[in-house]
Structure 1
């Protein structure tokens, strides 16, 4: 089979190599899956660079989220067991963690439903307790993680403000359902949020960016607001002064979704049931901006690393160059 492999850490476009390798052999409690679609996530970028908190041994195949097919023909969503990741024709996953792919979504959409939407659901509902009528501010609202949070916020009855960088991303954020879109390249984010909220600020702020985005969040969070820290796509990890949280009376909440897989797996299943229901009634739908063939995976991962993408980029092994879109 064909699979992308990393033999040394570096930039995805430089170190990913497409190779002909043997199909992986599942271990105890695992299953071999035919990859129907593999969603590209920022952790894939970090793993290739050697910067992720979990680093598989070299060589490895990245791809942490797939829609796959079992030997008996079931469509499932899975997080492949590295080093046999999803940027390949076949991957391996833990049998106990398989989730049914919703009938309402195609393969590419199903592949993008799991990590980003589970992170959004846990962040907004389990951690922040988002309520109908509240205002949600989402940084990087045009990206895969951000667009999922936007849709989940709208489904929960919140007013959603999205912060993006550039006109193209502003259009994607509106498509995802943002009530207000702020282009950080053309507007003063702090002033725009205050204007949109009548000076009150946002009740919940969803931040997968860190750095300057987090600093802005502390200036526009409402009384009893909650800032959910999801990641640091900017590459800068903030060191917040806690006296500021005390004086303004807001909460800073960390979210490491992966921990729920080991510490509370039943909650992951419950969340998937909620997401499946939302997808069935059209309240959420992954924004897939590109479907790329297996041969285009390295270039697509590099585009995500460069921050020039909107929505989700999904690798489809059975897709030809002519069918890519």
Structure 2
């Protein structure tokens, strides 16, 4: 089969190679072989290729942590499923393996590209907003990188929860994307001060919940505009800088700093992941959430797509389509 492979770590466009004769993976006990119909590109793919992700598969490996595929053998043959493939054989290939217990039915309301982009981004946003922060209707939600993959999911789910959503983006084009998602207020951080904008929009109260996949200055600024008893959910560090929180500041302002590593729920509480999937499927059927797929690309374009996400040049989700 064809599959993108990494034989040395580095920048995606430099080290990813499309191989034509990779052996098709053989399913082990409790695994499913799927034909990849669509694979969504995620920031962790770029980190993995660079050797900077917490999961480091042995070389050579195929990146791609999220897919929609068709089961090709066994009791579930023909079923359309979504999930995270079993590394080192990732989703940027014609075939991949899924753990049967973590292969969820693809929502009928979504096409292959949308279904592939639902799993990690919307699950991450769901757990951050509901499981960790306990977002309530009427609260103000501040979303950083709101035009990106996981940020756009947080905007959609924040609106679905009845929150007032303030979106922070970098650039006019991304601001237009965030407005299209339905954010109540959009702040372009390249031309405006999001801290001042949040304070003005909330009458000085601040944001009740902050969704931060960026880190660095985004986190630091958030501590200056978080509300009394507000919650900052740390989702990642796409900006490249891991902040060192001043805990005395959290003490005197009475806010909480919450971490979210969504992947841990797959082993610690898989029933919660299934429950979130069922709720996301319901919201997709109602038209409330729909992953923002900005481009559908052929398999041959996967390396450039990963590089684009790595460089922060994409909006929504880039999806590589299967044959």
Question: Is the shorter-chain TM-score for this pair beyond 0.5, marking a shared fold?
Answer: yes
Which position in structure 2 is the counterpart of 1:23? Answer: 24
Kindly state the Cα deviation for residue 198 of structure 1 after the two structures are TM-superposed.
1.3
CA distance in 1, matches of 2:272, 2:113: 24
Which of 141, 144, 147 is residue 139 of structure 1 equivalent to?
144
The question of 1:272 aligning with 2:273 is answered no
Pairing of 1:1-325 with structure 2 (within 5 A): 1-20=1-20, 21-71=22-72, 72-318=77-323
> In structure 2, the residue corresponding to 1:23 is in which secondary structure?
coil
> In structure 1, the residue corresponding to 2:44 is in which secondary structure?
helix
Structure 2 unaligned blocks of 5 or more? none
Q: TM-score by structure 1 length?
A: 0.97
CA distance in 2, matches of 1:120, 1:157: 15
CA RMSD in angstroms, aligned pairs only: 0.6
Q: TM-score by structure 2 length?
A: 0.98
Structure 1 unaligned blocks of 5 or more? 319-325
Instruction: Kindly tell me the number of residue pairs found equivalent between the two proteins.
Output: 318
CA distance in 2, matches of 1:203, 1:188: 18
CA distance in 1, matches of 2:236, 2:169: 16
> In structure 2, the residue corresponding to 1:84 is in which secondary structure?
coil
Kindly state the Cα deviation for residue 317 of structure 1 after the two structures are TM-superposed.
2.0
CA distance in 1, matches of 2:70, 2:300: 20
CA distance in 1, matches of 2:262, 2:152: 17
Kindly state the Cα deviation for residue 189 of structure 1 after the two structures are TM-superposed.
1.4
CA distance in 2, matches of 1:45, 1:264: 27
CA distance in 1, matches of 2:83, 2:195: 39
Deviations 1:163-212 (A, max 9, x none): 00000000111111100000000101111111111111100000000000
Kindly state the Cα deviation for residue 78 of structure 1 after the two structures are TM-superposed.
1.3
CA distance in 2, matches of 1:119, 1:302: 22
CA distance in 1, matches of 2:301, 2:167: 30
> In structure 2, the residue corresponding to 1:113 is in which secondary structure?
helix
